[in-house]
Amino acid sequence: MNSPNIFGLPDGHVVVSIVSENGTLLEEKTANYRKITGNAGRHRKHQFGVALFSVYFDYVPEGSKVVAKHCI
C-alpha cells in the first residue's frame, strides 16, 4: 500500500473481504498494516508512506472477488 501524498499513511487497518458473484459477503478479515521506513530500494522521493499487510483465507471460491478497504 502506498500513500497518495507527502503526509504518509495515517494509523488504521485494512478490511479484506470475499464477495460472491451475486454480491453476498462470504468472509471478512481485518489486517493491521506495518509501515516501512527508509528507501526500500527505491529513490527516496517516492517513499512518502509505504505499508505492508497480509491476510490468509482457507478458500476463495471461483468467480468471487477479493476486496480490500483502508479504514482510518
The whole-chain average pLDDT of the chain stands at 81
- Establish how many alpha carbons lie within 13 A of residue 9's alpha carbon, considering only the half-sphere containing its beta carbon: 21
Contact 52, 1 (CB under 8 A): yes
pTM of the model: 0.72
- List, for residues 4-16, the tens digit of each pLDDT value: 666 667 778 899 9
Question: Quick one: pLDDT at residue 4?
Answer: 66
Distance between CA atoms of 26 and 60, rounded to whole angstroms?
Answer: 9
Residue range 26-54: mean pLDDT, rounded: 73
Query: pLDDT tens digits, residue range 50-69?
Result: 778 899 999 999 999 999 99
